[in-house]
Structure 1
Amino acid sequence: MRRVLLRLFFVLALPALLVAVWWLASDDSTDVFWPPLRTIMRTFPDVWTGERLQDDVLPSVLRLTGGYALAAVVGVAAGTVIGSYRRVRAVCEPVLEFLRAVPPPVLVPVIMLFAGIDDTMKVTVIASGCVWPILLNTVEGVRAVDSVMAETARSYGIKGPARLTRLVLPSASPQIFAGLRQALSIGIILMVISEMFAASNGLGFTVVQFQRSFAIPDMWTGILVLGLLGFLLSVVFQLVERRALAWYHGLRASARRSP
């Protein structure tokens, strides 16, 4: 119990300190663009009603989920193939480095030409940015499979799908999850950017509308919602990661305890 309380303290201490600093620093503010935090918090329940959550937050989460899932499937599948075969990696590496260097927001107008301005465009934009950390981490994770374990699997005749599911993917999974974690933050950014182009709902659209109508406290509440959404998604991801990589964290804990 004491350990849980201590961990909860460390999790909440810094956010609470930052909120207190923000509250005190902005308390006497008369700047239109920097309203006091108490004004923002008083505006929050009036802006983010159940209807607005359904009309703006839910579509954003669904777009993010679709783009993120698409990037995960493509990134893990392509990364496994590229990481498993040296010749494929040699052929693909220059192209991957070129494409990775292109910022995804620059591709938004191009994607709009091919995918239109509906949700397909927004999901594609999110996937186009999320796929790279997943793919590259998968490639490195597959390449780093222990050579002794690989030889042992070959000696026992473990090949094909069995080798993939019993050796390659489990060995690469810690690095795959590292890529998935990086992709999650990128996905939230691209979700907002994609909704600033030819959108009629979503968090990005709503924040821009507040800014254009000079509803500054309302705009700040939208920024807070984005922060809270990122925090909640991070917590969910950590729970999934801890469950999926329980064996890995157990090995690391055993290694730390051993003399």
Structure 2
Amino acid sequence: MSSDVDVKVTAAVVPRPVVAERPATTPPGAVRRLAYRVPGLLLAAVTKSVAVAVLLGLWEGAPRFGLVDSTFLPPFSEVARAWWELAVNGQLATNLQASLVRSLSGFALAVAIAVPLGLLIGWYRPVADLLSPLLEVFRNTAALALLPVFVLILGIGETSKISIVLYACLWPILLNTISAVRNVDPTLLRLARSMNLSAPRLFQKVILPASVPVVFTGIRLAGAVSILVLVAAEMVGAKAGLGYLVNASQFNFAIPQMYAGIITISAVGVLFNQLLVVLERRFTAWRVPEGN
């Protein structure tokens, strides 16, 4: 009896060997997939950068080798230096902020008005019949042609600039939204109706998801329009903004600063478009990529 107790006490007292925990490691499959993807990503980045690099090289070399007059097209290095000087002294930030506030305000108002209105016109035929004549009249009137009217009625302040951006952005979003609703796959509608879905549920579950890709196409078009129209409006009457910067630089014959403003406008347009692409992918994550 005592030997059994001694054995149990000894077993309880003897410490158990400590097994070191294995550090968390990346699965080999993930490493292999990453190794396969890296060359493709690098190749894609290089491919997309080649055209830009060639353009900048031509821009730098053509004035220096006398192919174009450097007075009217300075080398890219001088433009980059002028852009940096504008950024350091605060002029670029001030004008950029003014343009972004106007552009985003008009664009956001256009989205808030055009998307619900387009869904309503596309879904309810009586509303479309009522508003179609007005839509045909106004959508064929260029926004810049109405710029003097906006200035005369609303003045040369912020209201007229935001309003002209709103007017210009309204039509791409509205027309694409109407087209998206009217071109929903009829098979989807028949299947949804066979399940006895109510009109609000049919609209929520079928019409809206099917319309999102085409609606975002209109939103992306409106994003580009908001920048272009605003720059033109700022050239007519403004005391700040990227359009004002380009126009003032031209009048003062500060050509490098003028090109710096143009490059900034292009960069803003590209970044705005990429942001809208990311949002589109977020809202259309349910779509199956082409080829799958």
TM-score, normalised via structure 1 length: 0.90
Deviation at 1:165, TM superposition (A): 2.5
Match of 1:173 in 2: 212
Query: Of the two, which has the highest radius of gyration?
Result: 2
Instruction: Work out whether residues 107 and 166 of structure 2, in 8 Å CA contact, stay in contact via their aligned partners in 1.
Output: yes
Equivalent residues of 2:63, 2:70 under 8 A apart? no
Change (3 A) 1:177 1:79: same
1:1-259 → structure 2 map (5 Å cutoff): 1-29=38-66, 30-49=69-88, 51-248=90-287, 251-253=288-290, 256-257=291-292
Kindly state the Cα deviation for residue 50 of structure 1 after the two structures are TM-superposed: 6.0
How big is the shift at 1:95?
Answer: 2.4
Cα distance per residue 1:204-235 (max 9 Å; x no partner): 11111111111111111111111111121122
Aligned residues, how many? 253
| Structure with greater proportional helix content | 1
Q: In the alignment, is the contact (CA less than 8 A) between 1:137 and 1:179 conserved in 2?
A: yes
Q: Match for 2:197: what amino acid?
A: I
Change (3 A) 1:120 1:151: same
Match of 1:247, SS state, is coil
Amino acid at match of 1:26: P
**Letter of the aligned partner of 2:100 in structure 1?**
V
CA distance in 1 between counterparts of 2:113 and 2:267 reads 28
Structure 2 spans left out of the alignment, 5+ residues:
1-37
Structure 1: gaps (5+ residues): none
The question of whether the paired residues in 2 share the 8 Å contact of 1:27 and 1:37 is answered with no
Kindly report the root-mean-square deviation, in angstroms, between the aligned alpha carbons of the 2 structures.
1.8
* TM-score of the pair, normalised by structure 2: 0.81
CA distance in 2, matches of 1:161, 1:115: 39
